[in-house]
Amino acid sequence: MSLACQKNSYLKEFTSRVKSCTASKLVQTTGCKKTTVEGFDVILEDTILFPEGGGQPDDRGMINGVKVLSVVRRGADAVHFVEQPFEVGVEVSVVVDWDRRWDHMQQHSGQHLVTAVVSKEFGFETTSWNLGERLSFIELGTPEMNADQMKQAEKIVNEKIRAAGPVYPTLFETKDDPGLASVRTRGLPDDHVGSVRVVTIEGIETNMCCGTHVSNLSHLQAIKLLAVEKGKKGRVNLVFVVGDRVLSYLSVCYERETVFTSLLKGHPDDHVKLLEKLQNSFKIAQKNSLTLLREVAKFEAEKFKASGEHDSVFVLHRKEGDNEFMNIIANELGNNDVTLFLTTGDEKGAGMFMLVGKPDNVTVLGPKIAELLDGKGAGKNGRFQGKANKMQKRTEAEALIRSHLSGGETAPSK
């Protein structure tokens, strides 16, 4: 069975009837967070909402004004997930999210065109593809594609777009139809039933595909091949944008260029040179800063030695310090007569810490200091160091150290 959206991908509204409606759940992922939505699986007699397949994400839209949150294929049916139930047999109005659909049509048809061109010109076969939210890529079965080949492919695909060749679907009754013998395909899903759909770009390629496509290459507007990136073993990913995404990408690039021009105070043609100059200046400044920091560490150690103080605990925090800063002080002062508690980073946030002293004391105190500062660490041979999230508790940590050394209570406060 072929859905209405596969017969005519330009349909924006459609009337159908509800075949079934069953209680269901949908797991949605936003970033790293997963949430479960209670709702209903609705199957219609036919639909213009495309279910995910062929590398193309599913459509969004409305059924009688109710948002469709997901569309998946189940055999010959498209299953729509909604949060409200529908009565079986009732007539419903289906509306597609056209902006999303149009974008997917452009990217998918563009992928077919690029795949056909790089196969014919260079013998690079497409092994898979990904339709991303901003950028898409085609995985090619070759370990290398050079800049000249990418430039040539881009030139040819845009010539094909200007030639405005027709794109159209053809339905074959069964998968055994002899007409499918010459069709490019990577096979059908195991649960496929009914007719087989083939998409033809006239004079360029014929490919088995279930997705939604433009009806003419001119509707792609333009294709920009952006980069060739390393893919899986022995393969590369050809990154591209099609149609409206080319315009969006250009707008973002121009806005970014304008910001760089303001920040760097130079013409766009000089941005790379100015950034390299800035980077070199930063490296020199960073090197000088590290040199000064080392000198400060040695100065702090020498100052303590020269002071003649006999405090059993040496405490120091340096916001801009690092591991090397703490290690220099530890190496200068590290002996069993003084316990060192050194910290760096944000005074009231995250940072690093180091505890140096008699091995028995450090073994006991190290994990407790880490717990008190909401951090983690490890150590051996009288030296414990780690990262922490609550440097504002340094005073409590110092009190814990002094209490332990004097034989008092050592339990950290929560």
- Give the separation between CA 382 and CA 192, rounded to whole angstroms: 67
Strand partners of residue 29: 34
pTM, full prediction: 0.77
Classify residue 214 by its DSSP letter.
-
pLDDT (tens digit, 9 = 90+) per residue, 166-216?
999 998 876 666 666 666 665 555 555 567 889 999 999 998 899 999 999
pLDDT (tens digit, 9 = 90+) per residue, 248-274?
999 999 999 999 999 999 999 999 999
What is the structure's pLDDT at 408? 67
CB 67, CB 82: distance < 8 Å:
yes
Q: Is the dihedral of CA 37, 41, 42, 47 positive or negative?
A: positive
Interacting residues of 1 by C-beta distance below 8 A, sequence separation 6+: 76, 193, 194, 195
- Give the separation between CA 230 and CA 388, rounded to whole angstroms: 37
DSSP states of 359-375: HHHHHHHHHHHHHHTTE
What is the structure's pLDDT at 404? 92
Residue 44 predicted with pLDDT over 90: yes
